[in-house]
Amino acid sequence: MMAQSKALLVLENFIGGKFIPCSSYIDSYNPSTGDVYCKVPDSGKEEVEAAVKAAKDAFPIWSSKCPLERSQILNKLADLIERDLEAFAQAESKDQGKTITFARTVDIPRAAYNFRFFASSILHHVTECTEMATMGCVHYTSRVPVGVAGLISPWNLPLYLLTWKIAPAIACGNTVVAKPSEMTSVTAWMMCKLLEKAGVPHGVVNIVFGMGAKAGEALVCHPDVPLISFTGSTLTAQRIAEKSAPHCKRLSLELGGKNPAIIFDDADLSQCIPTTLRSSFANQGEICLCTSRIFVQRGIYSEFLKRFVAEAKKWKTGNPSDPTVDVGALISKEHLEKVRNYVKKAQAEGARVLCGEGVDALDLPPGNQKGYFMLPTVITEVKDESCCMQEEIFGPVTCVVAFDTEEEVIKRANGVKYGLAATVWSSNVGRVHRVARRLQSGLVWTNCWLVRDLNLPFGGMKASGIGREGAKDSYEFFTEVKTITIKH
Ligand code: ADP
């Protein structure tokens, strides 16, 4: 499936059930070596037009199938992804820079599970009904698929986040045109090869590869795409909102975070420290849910910091395909530079870097010397106003600061433009409830991190997004509701 030795892997768009070559291509890099290894179609308006047409043509038949039939097809697709789990994991790790362990245990199992989950949940929705006896009327709601869904996904969890959109969209009876990130397109292309075998009719899932400003924007501006589900940066979301406004499109926007961890004196540090290391550095810190501001109550601040830094130093950075490695490569040279600059800026402002970037030596195998690697980095003595405490860094960098009171820490945790995820560590149940209610955050994890029930809403407040996704929320987003009244 993958290219032989040095031959470049060349991807093709998937439109109307066929792989179609493109007239121009973008170079895609292997982040762990810095080499170009893949060519990604540089699609534009023409390719998007063809994909939307194929999706429109497929809509009448797909949308009229019964949910059970669609459910069986989604389950079959999940089976096929699971069958090829190892090949998908290898490809995701090579394309994105993430460790093979993370791809094997998180990305690909979750991609398969996304299909399985929506295959099941689509069978269990009920609509509302009310009776108005005095008028001799019953009212009920009916939900129908919207049409062609435009799906735009990012590079950090490529197949995981793409399937989190495709699965509910097609389960609800929509057809889709998806555009994965130009930096991580390979696993989406591999999945296209499984669609026919799973029984997905031609035109139900179309994938157009290319740049955001060209292919992505053509999709956002297409008049026959009434709905856009986007995961990515807040800046791009603003552009998408602007460009789709003349069409009054329905938008779901899952954006960045500047997520706090609040650790009270009575926290169980034996649980808190390993989990907070994961929440800071998992997937190289390239998860919108990663912790990047750690507030520790004064009484345990020194102990926490000492233990946290000692453990962070044990995280092994290196070749992502080595199963003993904890931190792989960052997505691109530009992104690595951006993340490093945040550390430099913090130092210039007087903050202290306790481990990682600029402090410890990065020891890389010979084949990875040109890869985009960075050690887990812990910054302290940093002000709340600093850009490292305000802006999303999206790398293996976390800041640790002290606080005194509950009231104070809530205010400081809320003092950023984002509101995606927070973690609270305490054994006092009353306090946990009080704090969770007051945090401006779409998700609050207490004494844990990244434990998800896909039934429940996922999404952010403030600059972290608009809308929620989950069993019920995705169903509502990907369907139109109408109220029907019958008088007897
Ligand atoms: P990042 O800045 O982290 O790379 P982006 O928000 O730019 O994140 O990217 C997320 C997704 O949005 C990618 O698939 C990207 O190609 C796409 N994208 C970027 N710019 C636009 C745009 N103007 N219109 C539509 N999609 C875009």
Asked if the model's pLDDT at residue 407 lies above 90, the reply is yes
Q: What is the pLDDT of residues 248-290, one digit of tens each?
A: 999 999 999 999 999 999 999 999 999 999 999 999 999 999 9
Is any atom of ligand 1 closer than 6 Å to the C-beta of 213?
Answer: yes
∠ CA 398-280-112 to the nearest 5 degrees? 150
3-state secondary structure of 183: coil
**Contact present, 38 and 28 (Cβ < 8 Å):** yes
239 lines ligand 1 (CB under 6 A): yes
Same fold, 9-255+464-487 and 259-446: no
Residue 152 Cβ < 6 Å to ligand 1: yes
pLDDT value at 3 more than 60: no
Q: What is the mean pLDDT of residues 238-245?
A: 98
Instruction: Supply the mean pLDDT for the chain.
Output: 97
**Edge-to-edge strands, sheet with 175-179:** 18-20, 13-15, 205-207, 175-179, 148-152, 227-231, 250-254, 465-466
372 token code pair:
């985009």
Cα of 182 vs centre of ligand 1, distance in Å, is: 9
398 alpha carbon – ligand 1 mean position (Å): 24
Regarding beta strands 129-132 and 137-145, do their DSSP bridges make them parallel or antiparallel, or are they unpaired? antiparallel
- Cα 307 to ligand 1 centre (Å): 38
Residue with tokens 């609800």: 172
Mutate to test the pocket of ligand 1, among 95, 96, 152, 247 (most ligand atoms within 8 A of CB): 152
Mean of the pLDDT values across residues 453-461?
97
Q: How far apart are CA 169 and CA 474, in angstroms?
A: 8
Alpha-carbon span 12 to 40, nearest angstrom: 7
The answer to whether the beta carbons of residues 225 and 246 sit under 8 Å apart is no
Q: Is the CB of 212 under 6 A from ligand 1?
A: yes
Q: Compute the distance between CA of residue 274 and CA of residue 284 in angstroms, rounded to an integer.
A: 15
Share of the chain above pLDDT 90, in %: 98
How far apart CA 309 and CA 378 sit, in angstroms, is 7
pLDDT at 4 over 60: no
- Give the residue numbers marked as catalytic: 254
8 A C-beta contact, residue 397 and residue 292: yes
* pLDDT value for 488: 86
Q: Which amino acid is at 404?
A: D
Using one digit for the tens of pLDDT, what is the confidence trace for 414-448? 999 999 999 999 999 999 999 999 999 999 999 99
- Domain 9-255+464-487 is classified in which CATH homologous superfamily? Aldehyde Dehydrogenase; Chain A, domain 1 (3.40.605.10)
When pLDDT is averaged across residues 140-154 and rounded to a whole number, the result is 98
CB 96 within 8 A of CB 155: yes
Ligand 1: does its nearest atom lie under 6 Å from the Cβ of 410?
Answer: no
DSSP-derived 3-state class of residue 240:
helix
For atom 20 of ligand 1, the residue with the nearest CA is 212
Q: Is 330 in the pocket of ligand 1 (CB under 6 A)?
A: no
Query: What distance in Å separates the CA atoms of residue 335 and residue 394, rounded to the nearest whole number?
Result: 9
The pLDDT assigned to 1 comes to 45
Q: How far is CA 394 from CA 158, 232, 282, 285, 339, in A?
A: 15, 11, 11, 6, 7
| pLDDT tens per residue, range 131-145 | 999 999 999 999 999
Check residue 76 and give its pLDDT: 98
484 CA → ligand 1 middle, Å: 39
* Ligand 1 atom nearest to CA at 156: 3
Residues 77-98, mean pLDDT to the nearest whole number: 98
Q: Is the pLDDT of residue 6 over 90?
A: no
The tokens for 365 are 């195998």
CA 308 to centroid of ligand 1, rounded, Å: 34
* 350: exposed, middle or buried (Cβ count in 10 Å: 0-12, 13-18, 19+): exposed
Residue 117 contacts residue 470 (beta carbons within 8 Å):
no
Give residue 209's pLDDT.
98
Q: Cα separation of 55 and 147, whole Å?
A: 9
Q: Residue 328 Cα, ligand 1 centroid: separation in angstroms?
A: 22
- Assess contact for 391 and 417: CB atoms under 8 A: no
Nearest to 249 by CA among 217, 210, 285, 282: 217
How many Å lie between the centroid of ligand 1 and the Cα of residue 366?
33
First-to-final CA distance of the chain: 61
Q: What is the pLDDT of residues 318-331, one digit of tens each?
A: 999 999 999 999 99
337's CB contacts (< 8 A; 6+ apart) are: none
Domain boundaries, the chain: 9-255+464-487, 259-446
CA of 376 to the centre of ligand 1 (A): 26
Between helix 67-83 and helix 158-171 the angle, nearest 10°, is 160
Summarised one tens digit per residue, pLDDT across range 320-368 is 999 999 999 999 999 999 999 999 999 999 999 999 999 999 999 999 9
Strand partners, 482: 142
C-beta of 179 in contact with ligand 1 (< 6 A): yes
Across 366-383, average pLDDT: 98
Ligand 1 atom 21, closest CA: 212
Whether the per-residue pLDDT at 85 is higher than 50: the answer is: yes
* The pair of three-digit structure tokens given for residue 24, joined into one six-digit string: 């121009």
The CATH homologous superfamily to which domain 259-446 belongs is Aldehyde Dehydrogenase; Chain A, domain 2 (3.40.309.10)
User: Mean pLDDT across the stretch 152-167?
Assistant: 98
**CA separation (Å) from 228 to 177, 240, 250, 255?**
10, 9, 6, 14
pLDDT at 5 over 60: no
Residue nearest to atom 18 of ligand 1 (CA): 212
pTM over 0.95: yes
For CA atoms 425, 428, 429, 435, give the dihedral sign: negative
Which pLDDT score is estimated for 2? 46
Give the relative orientation of helices 108-121 and 67-83 as an angle to the nearest 10 degrees.
Answer: 170
* 200 phi/psi in degrees, rounded to 5: -75, 120
Q: What's the full length of the chain, in residues?
A: 488
| Ligand 1 atom at minimal distance to the Cα of residue 235 | 6
The response to whether residue 240 sits with its C-beta less than 6 Å from ligand 1 reads yes
Dist. CA 128 → ligand 1 center (Å): 37
* CB distance 318 to ligand 1 below 6 Å: no
Report residue 433 as tokens. Answer: 């409830």
pLDDT digits over 196-230, tens only? 999 999 999 999 999 999 999 999 999 999 999 99
Q: Is 182 in the pocket of ligand 1 (CB under 6 A)?
A: yes
**Given ligand 1 and candidates 28, 181, 208, which is best to mutate, with the most ligand atoms within 8 Å of its CB?**
181
Q: Which residue is closest in CA terms to ligand 1's atom 14?
A: 181
92 lines ligand 1 (CB under 6 A): no
- HSE, side-chain direction, 13 A CA sphere, residue 452: 18
* Inter-CA distances, 360 with 56, 277, 378, 412, Å: 55, 17, 11, 30
Q: Identify the residue whose C-alpha is closest to ligand 1 atom 13.
A: 181
Asked whether 154 lines ligand 1 (CB < 6 A), one says yes
